[in-house]
Structure formats: structure tokens, C-alpha cells
Amino acid sequence: MPRTKQIIYNQQNPDRENGSVPAVAPKIAHADFNKYEDPSGEFSSSEFKHGLWYIKHKLLLYKILIGFLIAWIVVFGGYAIITLADYLIFGIVGDLNLQKQLTAFPNYTNIQPKYAPAPLQVQNVTSLPGGSTSFDLTAQVSNPNKNFVVYFDYYFNVGQDKTPVQHGFLLAGEAKPIVYFGLKGGYPGDVNLVLENVAWKRLRAQVIKDPAVYQAERLNFVVSNFSFTSQAASEGLGANVVKFDLKNDSAYGYRDANFVVALTNGGGGVSAVMPLMLKDFKAGETRNIDLRNFVLNLPVSDVQLFPLIDTYNKDVYLAPAE
């Protein structure tokens, strides 16, 4: 039986009619753009690669930008909506309340006493023997305010008369005797202290944090070797002899270091007061003090000093070189 010739159709090679395996088509070499060189020299291979990368990823970059803008709008738009809602719910009421507060004026007359300094405290207004024919008028005055210094004028009323006006001051929290020395005449009966022109000076915490410490560092005076010799034992001097050593144990020297010397008896009361004035009292210096008192039969057991030094006045200090 004769064989029939089979015709095999090859789609890639329709002209071949034999049944052999068609020839493999040659591979087409792809262009390597990394090796591209612009003949004109104006377009480098690196710029070409960057441009090609941008073309390939242009759609992705666009989607990223759109996503970022949407997130931005959602976050900040949501914040704006929440803020607006908060103002509509609470802010308008708050503004109305603030407007009412601004139109209401506080009564500063009632507030002022809360911040004003407390008044001075005066005690023990009396007279003490100052000599054979004179008296010293004294009163214990206290400044209860820890952040105020007070300046004032004062005088004593003695019956129908009054002493000359003198100037005084008290540091923050200080208590000391206010004295008029040497009132002539007989024993004064009714004695009163009058304070005038009282002026308060607030101490700023930004400048002086602790006034008590500030003052204590500058008024550090030490009394030692005190002795009192009465007239009867003073070997013909005709006066009581008061002696003690006074040391300026601070780091500050003073042009005029003035004191009130109080002679106290065994019960703690004041028997007599005396003035003490020292010129150019240097830091660390010790002075030998020798005072005379002409009061007969004066009971004395100890001595106490009250500085009359305004530590807030820079003119009272000696210069460091002095």
C-alpha cells in the first residue's frame, strides 16, 4: 500500500514541508543602556539611567504623592474639625465668661491689706536713769515683716512736752530699742512714743533671697570679756566702768558702726542704755570698749548690743581696700 506523504505545517516556517524539527530562531541581543554614550557629549550615561528609572517608576511616584496628600488632609483636616468643634462647644462659653471677668473690676481696697506690711509693734515705753540729773527714754519696737525694711521719724511725748524729732529704721524682722538720750529735768511720769512718716521698703526676692540670712551675715558682732565695775569699787573714778571686747566677725567693714548698749540685770530686764559709736570698724577687727556710766547703785550682770546699721545702704560700708 503506497504511503501517503505527510505534510507537516510549521507555523514558524510554513514553507518547510518535511517533518524535521524546525531550525531555532536566532536570539535577538537586547541593548545595554548602561553602556550608552551620547555622541554629542551633552547627555551622560548616568543622566540617561536616572531618566529611564523615572519613566519606569513615574506611576508609582504619583501614587505615593497622592497617598501622602490624602494622609496630610486626613490628619490636619481632622485636627481642624476637632478644634472647631471644641471651640463651638466650649470656646464660645469660655469667651463669654472671659468677657464678663474683664468687665468686672476687683476691689483693690479689700485686696491691699493682704499684701501690705503688718504694723510696727511698740512695747515697754519707759524712762531709765541716764546720769545723776538726766534720764533716757526708750521703747522696744519690732518689725514683724520678713520682707520689709521700715524707715520712720519718732519722738517721745513727756507730759506736755516732746523730745526733738529723730530718724530711725528697722531691718526685716528686727526688734531693738528706740532711744532718746539725756532728757534733763525731774523724773518723767507719763511717756509715749510717737512714730511719723513711716515708709516701708519691700525687699525683692530676686535680689535678696533670705533677708534674715543676709542681715545676720553682715551684723555678726561678738561680745566677750565683759566686766562691770560699780562706782563704789571704781577707785575714785566716780562712775560705773563698763568694759568688753567687741569683734566685727563679719566680712564687712563699716564707716560708722553705731550701737545701743543695753546693760541688763540678773532678771533679764534693762537697767540702763548707752550709746556706742565706732569709726571705721573693719572686718575681723576687735575693739576694746571702755564706757562710763554715772547712775548710782546700778544693778548690772550682762550687756547686750543692738546695731544701728542699715545693711541695705551701700554708703555704710568701708571699701575693701580701706
| pLDDT band, residue 105 (cuts 50/70/90) | low
Based on the fold, state whether residues 195 and 223 are members of the same structural domain.
no
Q: State the pLDDT confidence band at 285, using cuts at 50, 70 and 90.
A: very high
Structural domain ending residue among the three candidates 170, 202, 234: 202
In a domain, 277, yes or no: yes
Residue 226, domain member (yes or no) = yes
- Residue 223 shares a structural domain with residue 304: yes
Instruction: Give Cα separations from 12 to 18, 19, 28, 278 (angstroms).
Output: 13, 13, 16, 130
Higher pLDDT, 36 or 71: 71
184 and 225 part of one domain: no
Structural domain of residue 309, as residue ranges? 219-316
What is the average pLDDT across 2-10? 52
Do 198 and 262 belong together in one domain?
Answer: no
72 occurs within a structural domain: yes
Instruction: For residue 39, give Cα distances in angstroms to 32, 34, 35, 48.
Output: 16, 15, 12, 13
Could you say which of 145, 168, 202 is where a domain stops? 202
* Residue 196: strand pairing partners: 153
* pTM of the model as a whole: 0.65
Number of structural domains the chain divides into: 3
Residue 109 lies in a domain: no
Choice among 131-140, 174-183, 239-248 with the minimum mean pLDDT: 131-140
151 against 160, higher pLDDT: 151
182 and 224 co-located in one domain: no
The verdict on residue 59 lying in a domain is yes
Alpha helices in 148-253 (DSSP H): 211-218
Sign of the alpha-carbon dihedral angle for 79, 85, 89, 91: positive
Residues 259 and 193 placed together within one structural domain of the fold: no
**Do 257 and 306 share a structural domain?**
yes
Residues in the chain, overall count = 322
Where residue 296 falls among pLDDT bands split at 50, 70, 90?
A: confident
Predicted confidence band of residue 177 (pLDDT cuts 50, 70, 90):
very high
Q: Is the pLDDT of residue 278 over 90?
A: yes
The yes-or-no verdict on residue 283 having pLDDT over 60 is yes
Cell of residue 130, nine digits = 541716764
Q: For residue 209, is it within any domain?
A: no
Q: Which residue has the higher pLDDT, 96 or 293?
A: 293
pLDDT at 86 over 90: no
Domain identity same for 195 and 158: yes
pLDDT tens digit sequence for 214-246? 999 999 999 999 999 988 777 767 889 999 999
Identify whether 16 is part of a domain. Answer: no
- 158 and 246 together in one domain: no
Mean pLDDT of 253-282: 94
Strand order in the sheet with 254-264: 270-281, 254-264, 302-307
pLDDT digits (tens, 9 = 90+) for 160-172: 899 999 999 999 9
Residue 223: predicted pLDDT: 97
Same domain for 159 and 99:
no
Please tell me the distance from the alpha carbon of residue 22 to that of residue 75, in angstroms, as a whole number: 65
Alpha-carbon distances, residue 37 vs 46, 54, 118 (angstroms): 10, 19, 95
Q: At residue 210, does pLDDT exceed 90?
A: yes
The answer on pLDDT for 26 being more than 70 is no
Average pLDDT estimate for 87-101: 79
**Three-class DSSP labels, 59-118:** HHHHHHHHHHHHHHHHHHHHHHHHHHHHHHHHHHHHHHHHHHHHHCCCCHHHHHHHHCCC
Whole-number CA gyration radius for the chain: 51
Q: Which pLDDT score, from 0 to 100, does residue 320 have?
A: 82
Q: How far is CA 49 from CA 33, 52, 55, 56, 173, in A?
A: 8, 5, 10, 11, 86
Highest mean pLDDT range out of 80-94, 178-192, 277-291? 277-291
* Cα(63)–Cα(219) distance, integer angstroms: 80
Mean pLDDT of the chain: 85
Q: Which CATH number do you get for residue 187?
A: 2.60.40
β-pair partners for 259:
276, 307
At residue 100, does pLDDT exceed 90? Answer: no
Asked if residue 5 has pLDDT above 60, the reply is: no
Domain assignment of residue 20, yes or no: no
Burial class (CB in 10 A: 0-12, 13-18, 19+), 113: exposed
Neighbours of 255 (CB within 10 A): 15
Alpha helices in the chain (DSSP H): 45-86, 92-103, 108-115, 211-218
